[in-house]
Amino acid sequence: MTDFPLAKAITEGLKAAMSQDPSVMLMGEDIAQLGGVFRVTEGLQEEFGPNRVIDTPLAESGIVGTAIGLAMRGYRPVCEIQFDGFLYPAFDQIVTQLAKLTARHEGTQSFPVVIRIPYGGHIGAVEHHQESPEAYFAHTAGLRVVAPATPHDAYWLIQDAIASNDPVIYLEPKSRYWHKGPIDTTASGAQMGQARVVRQGSDLTLIGHGAMVSVMHQAAEIAQSEGVSLELIDLRSLSPIDYDTILDSVRRTGRAIVAQEAPGNASVGSEIAATLTEKAFYVMEAPVLRVSGFNTPFPPARLESLYLPDADRILDAVDRSLAY
C-alpha cells in the first residue's frame, strides 16, 4: 500500500497501462513536455518517447477526431481535455461519431478511446473551468462514463478504461487531485460498472460520485454525532449505473438522497431518482431527494461556495427525508 495524490495515482495508472500495452498512447494540449496543466502526464514522454506522448494543437475536435482514426488502426489513444469547459468543440466528434461507430460497424470494429476530463468545482477558477458535464455523456448511448473519488479507484479505473474496447469518458474530480490516499497495486476492487458501499448505515442511503463523496463523508460524520446512520454509495460508474448495489442498500434503509455538483435538471441524479421510484417504490418510506448545483451557469469563483452542495445542504435533505 502506497499513498498517492489522486493526480499521481492516475499518472501511475497510465504508466502501468503503457508499460503493458505498446498500443496505448497519450494525446493532448501541453501534456508532453509540460506534463499537462495538472501535471498528470509529467515524466511520461521522457519514459515512453515522443511517439507515444504527443502534444497536440489547441483543437479539441482535432484531438478526438485523430484519436478515432488511431483507434481504427489498432491503437488505444488516451485524450486529455485540459478543462471541462473546453470539451465542447469536441462534442460533435464524441457524440455523433465516437459513441456511434461501433454500432455503425455492427460490432465488427471497436473504438477503444479514453477521454480524460478534469471536471467540477472547488478550485476557485474562472468561467469554463469548473463545469460538471457528466449528464451529456451518460445520456449518450455507446459511451461508458466513470468518475473515481479516491486515488485507489483512479489508479485502477484508468487501466480498466484503457483496456475497454468501448469508448470511455473518464471524469477526474480536479478538486481532489492533491488529496492523498492509499493505493493497493496488487488488488483492484475497482471495476467499471460497479458502485462501492464506502460506509454502512441503516437510516438512509446517500449516493454520489467524484468529489461529492468526500462531502458525503462529512455529512455522515455530523449525522452520526446526532444519532443518524447514513449509508454512503460511491457510484464510480455513471454509465452504466450499478443499480444492484443501490437497490440493495435502499431496500434496507428505506430512504435515499442523491448528491452531485452538476445542476439537478435532467441529470444523473434525476435518472437515479426515477429508477428508484420505479423499482423500489413499495419499500421506500420517503421520496428520493436530490441535492445538486443550481440550474444556472457556474458562478464566479467568489460565489462557488453558495452554488456547490456542502454538508449542510445534504443534512437539510436528510432532515426532510426523515420527517416523512
> So which residues are the catalytic ones?
129
Other residues' Cβ atoms within 10 Å of the Cβ of residue 211: 26
Cell 446517500, residue?
206
CA distance 109 to 102: 6
Q: Are strands 230-234 and 196-199 parallel, antiparallel or unpaired?
A: antiparallel
8 A C-beta contact, residue 116 and residue 146: no
* CB neighbour list of residue 222: distance below 8 Å, 6 or more residues apart: 311, 315
**Where do runs of H (alpha helix) occur along 21-169?**
44-48, 60-72, 91-92, 101-104, 134-138, 151-163
Q: For residue 70, what is its C-alpha cell? A: 488511431
CA dihedral 132, 136, 139, 144 (to 10 degrees): -70
Classify 306 as helix, strand or coil: helix
Q: For residue 4, what is its C-alpha cell? A: 498517492
CA distance 130 to 181: 23
CA distance 207 to 34: 36
Q: Is the peptide bond before 240 cis (omega within 30 degrees of 0)?
A: yes
Q: For residue 264, what is its C-alpha cell? A: 439537478
Beta bridge partners of 237: 146
Among 321, 144, 152, 146, which residue's Cα sits nearest to residue 231? 321
**Where do runs of H (alpha helix) occur along 226-303?**
243-253, 268-280
